[in-house]
Amino acid sequence: MNTDAAEDGELLPDVAALDAFVEREGYTGNRRHDQAELDAVRALRPRLRALWGADEDEAVDLVNAMLREGRALPQLMRHDGWDYHLHATGDDAGLDVRLMVEFAMAMVDVIRMKELDRLRICAAPDCDDVLVDLSKNRSRRFCLQGCGNRQNVAAYRARKAASSGTASSGTPSPGAAAGGAA
Ligand SMILES: [Zn+2]
Ligand SMILES: [Zn+2]
């Protein structure tokens, strides 16, 4: 439950948004509630994002660096109604360090299970949000910000425009079904 920091692509405009994020994710431990903490968490994002598009060896280097830097020392913990789970940093570590190490620990599993291809960038042309495809058939292509719907609408409009514009001969439309077995 606490281990899915990977898909935190949301915006953190201010300390209040960070507080809400921490609350929502159920993070415990040391907090500062100040701009420096927010800046540190924001600065983390490009580092985490670098995993998207990294090949396996590059991803391993990035993850190992995070684990080293965060002095990760995994310990099984049980608290606040959560059953045993791993904490790899002490509660006194900064929020950014705890988030970084938790992300790195999640990526350890992803890499070991050969699942790096589940880290995707949204397929919408005007969106570069990252996503983690947790679907069974690895079919997720769009982020959760509504891009899938927008793309469907755009494709529908394009088809309509194409069919009303050009000859109305009954050519079977190859477009929609073309990539079927992908
Ligand atoms: Zn915990
Ligand atoms: Zn998107």
Q: What is the pLDDT of residues 75-100, one digit of tens each?
A: 999 988 999 999 999 888 999 999 99
pLDDT at position 27 over 90: no
Query: How many angstroms separate the alpha carbon of residue 126 from the centre of ligand 2?
Result: 7
Q: Is the pLDDT of residue 8 over 50?
A: no
Residue 100 CA to ligand 2 centre (angstroms): 23
Whether 62 contacts 70, CB under 8 Å: no
For residue 82, the CA-to-ligand 1 centroid distance in Å is 7
Q: Which residue has the higher pLDDT, 165 or 133?
A: 133
Closest by Cα among 32, 47, 100, 45 to 70: 100
Fold of 5-121: Jann2411-like fold (1.10.3300)
Q: Which residue has the higher pLDDT, 154 or 57?
A: 57
Q: Which ligand is nearest the CA of 105, by number?
A: 1
Q: Whole-number mean pLDDT of the chain? A: 84
CB-CB contact of 143 with 151 (8 Å)? no
Cα 122 to averaged position of ligand 2 atoms, centre (Å): 5
Q: Reply yes or no on whether the pLDDT at 10 is more than 80.
A: no
Q: Note the pLDDT of residue 54.
A: 95
pLDDT at 1: 26
> How far is ligand 1, taken at its centre, from the CA of residue 29, in Å?
9
**What is the Å distance from ligand 1's center to 68 Cα?**
20
Is it the case that residue 2 has pLDDT exceeding 50? no
pLDDT at position 166 is: 57
**What pTM does this model have?**
0.75
pLDDT at 6 over 50: no
Pairwise CA distance, residues 101 & 89, whole Å: 7
Per residue in 143-171, pLDDT (tens digit) is 888 888 888 888 889 898 988 865 544 44
Residue 180: the pLDDT is 41
Nearest to residue 77, comparing CAs of 88, 64, 69, 86? 86
Confidence of residue 3 (pLDDT cuts 50, 70, 90): very low
Dihedral class, residue 86 (left if φ above 0, else alpha if ψ from -120 to 50, else beta): beta
